[in-house]
Amino acid sequence: MAQTPEEMEFKLRLGEAEQAETDNYATTAPVGEFSAPALNSLTNAVNALQPLFGDAESGFFVEDYPVFDVDQTSLPGEFMRLLSAVKQAVDDAVEDDVLDPELQFSLDALQSDSDLAQLSGRFTMLAKDKGFKRWMKEAPAPTEEQEEDTLDEDQSLGFGDAPSEDDIMRMFSDRS
């Protein structure tokens, strides 16, 4: 299927926005000594949560995060984006009295393999928590305050007319 110039421009802008977001997460990533085995334990726990956050249609958590081959001193931007999404979901679930506040965590506190192991354990518990799973599937609608805080699509993408929902769905379905 041939793409129109508008669709190609939209894909280009969307890719630029996604890269800028990933770069932003990379600049805020915690710094520490993280071994590949500890990172892979956390990666497995994150991947176990993946089905709760969406599918290929939603465009989020489309594929499992790949394993780490080498030790790291900071976490990659894309990995931070995924961890941040889980953190936000946990914080929201605690606020809605779905989860115990003990499950909340700080990404800034990650500095060592033991910190990653603790986070992996929390994520494993989340993946098995029936109440959390049910809450995630219900996907509560954003409040008015959250909607006001959200930028309009045309502002966030940086060009005139915001794409329609159909355009967005078509763009995501074309992603391979």
Degrees to nearest 5, angle at CA 139 with 63 and 169: 55
The verdict on residue 150 lying in a domain is no
The verdict on residue 153 lying in a domain is no
The label of the residue with tokens 């609608």 reads 141
For residue 154, the model assigns a pLDDT of 42
The verdict on residue 39 lying in a domain is yes
Mean model confidence pLDDT for the chain: 78
Using the predicted structure, report yes or no on whether residue 116 has a pLDDT greater than 60: yes
Q: Which residue has the higher pLDDT, 18 or 135?
A: 135
For residue 45, the model assigns a pLDDT of 95
For residue 169, the model assigns a pLDDT of 62
Which residues are bridge partners to 31 per DSSP?
A: 74
What is the domain range of residue 103? 5-12+23-140
Confirm if 3 and 32 have CB atoms less than 8 A apart: no
The verdict on residue 101 lying in a domain is yes
The verdict on residue 71 lying in a domain is yes
Q: What is the per-residue pLDDT across 66-114, written as a single tens digit (0 to 9) for each?
A: 999 999 998 988 888 889 989 999 999 999 999 999 999 999 889 999 9
d(CA 52, CA 112): 27
The verdict on residue 164 lying in a domain is no
Q: How far is CA 175 from CA 60, 156, 170, in A?
A: 12, 20, 9
For residue 23, the model assigns a pLDDT of 57
Tell me if the pTM is above 0.85: no
Q: How far is CA 36 from CA 39, 49, 107, in A?
A: 5, 20, 18
In sequence order, the 6+-apart residues with CB closer than 8 A to the CB of 5 are none
Both structure tokens of 34: 């993280």
Structural domains of the chain, count: 1
The verdict on residue 61 lying in a domain is yes
For residue 87, the model assigns a pLDDT of 94
* Mean pLDDT value across residues 125-145: 79
The label of the residue with tokens 């910190």 reads 115
d(CA 101, CA 104): 5
For residue 25, the model assigns a pLDDT of 56
d(CA 126, CA 92): 13
Q: Which residue has the higher pLDDT, 14 or 103?
A: 103
Q: Percentage of the chain surpassing pLDDT 70? A: 62
In sequence order, the 6+-apart residues with CB closer than 8 A to the CB of 170 are 7
Which residues are bridge partners to 57 per DSSP?
A: none
* Mean pLDDT value across residues 141-150: 47
For residue 96, the model assigns a pLDDT of 95
Q: What is the per-residue pLDDT across 25-42, written as a single tens digit (0 to 9) for each?
A: 556 677 889 999 999 999
The verdict on residue 94 lying in a domain is yes
How many whole angstroms from its chain centre is CA 126? 15
